[in-house]
Each structure stands twice: as structure tokens, then as C-alpha cells.
């Protein structure tokens, strides 16, 4: 791990080719939160492709409109949701329809990390 960033709504763990984000309990993720993601990715992944992994250990809501903007991050090659919660997985299936790049749902974090590695090798 290169760095851990803590914000008022989440914790981001930055790795060489992916980041793992844990959103805080009860947060409503809106497009304004995407501005933070863009800043972080411009700083840490400006010159290389990466995958965004959200580890959904807490309950929170996501405005699906956020994915239209997130999809515009050129070097973002994929998005993974990790959760063992049925409701979170159902919500992720809906969110998946708004994202125009590879988007996978996993139960285990290591599965998502492995998928990210495979995706970036393509």
C-alpha cells in the first residue's frame, strides 16, 4: 500500500494500480463526492490505469448519476463492488447500468483485487 487517505465521508487506500474505498456509515454519495475521487486519481494515477474498488462494509446510498461522471475518468479501467450483503449487491446491479466500463460485483475483497489485476493486463 502506498498511502491511506481519510476524508469526512470515506477512507481510501491507494495501491499501485487500484484503490480501495470504504464509505462511512449513513453517507449519501452524490456527484460532489466524485470531485474528491477525481482529485485523488489525478494525483496518484495521473500516468497509469487503475481500478476503483469499493468495499461496502457500511450501509450508505449512492446517487447512480455519479457513474456518468466517474465513467469519464479516462484512466479508470474498471469498478468493483465488494459486499456480502444481499441488498448492497442488488443496489450495485442497478448502479452497474449507469457505468460504461467494466463493473463487477464480488463477495470477497481478494477476488476484486485479482479481477483488477487481470483487467489491467488486457
Quote the mean pLDDT of the chain.
93
Please give the CATH architecture assigned to the domain spanning 3-107+114-121.
2-Layer Sandwich (3.30)
Which grid coordinates belong to 108? Answer: 470477497
How close are the terminal C-alpha atoms of the chain, in Å?
Answer: 23
* Model pLDDT for residues 26-63, shown as the tens digit of each residue: 999 988 888 898 899 999 999 899 999 999 999 998 88
Residue 17 has pLDDT above 80, yes or no: yes
Mean of pLDDT values over 93-113: 94
Q: What is the pTM of this model?
A: 0.94
Please give the pLDDT value at position 4. Answer: 97
Q: Is the pLDDT of residue 1 over 80?
A: no
How far is it, in rounded angstroms, from Cα 119 to Cα 122? 6
The strand pair at 28-29 and 10-14 is best described as unpaired
Alpha-helix runs per DSSP H in the chain: 31-44, 66-70, 86-96, 109-121
Amino acid at each position: 500500500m502506498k498511502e491511506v487517505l481519510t476524508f469526512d465521508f470515506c477512507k481510501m487506500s491507494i495501491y499501485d494500480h487500484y484503490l480501495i474505498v470504504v464509505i462511512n456509515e449513513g453517507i449519501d454519495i452524490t456527484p460532489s463526492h466524485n470531485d474528491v475521487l477525481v482529485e485523488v486519481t489525478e494525483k496518484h494515477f495521473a500516468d497509469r490505469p487503475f481500478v476503483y474498488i469499493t468495499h461496502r462494509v457500511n450501509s450508505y446510498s449512492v446517487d447512480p448519476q455519479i457513474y456518468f461522471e466517474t465513467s469519464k475518468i479516462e484512466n479508470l479501467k474498471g469498478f468493483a463492488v465488494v459486499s456480502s450483503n444481499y441488498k448492497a449487491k442488488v443496489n450495485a446491479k442497478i448502479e452497474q447500468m449507469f457505468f460504461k466500463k467494466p463493473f463487477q460485483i464480488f463477495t470477497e475483497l481478494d477476488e476484486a483485487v485479482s479481477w483488477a489485476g487481470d483487467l489491467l493486463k488486457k
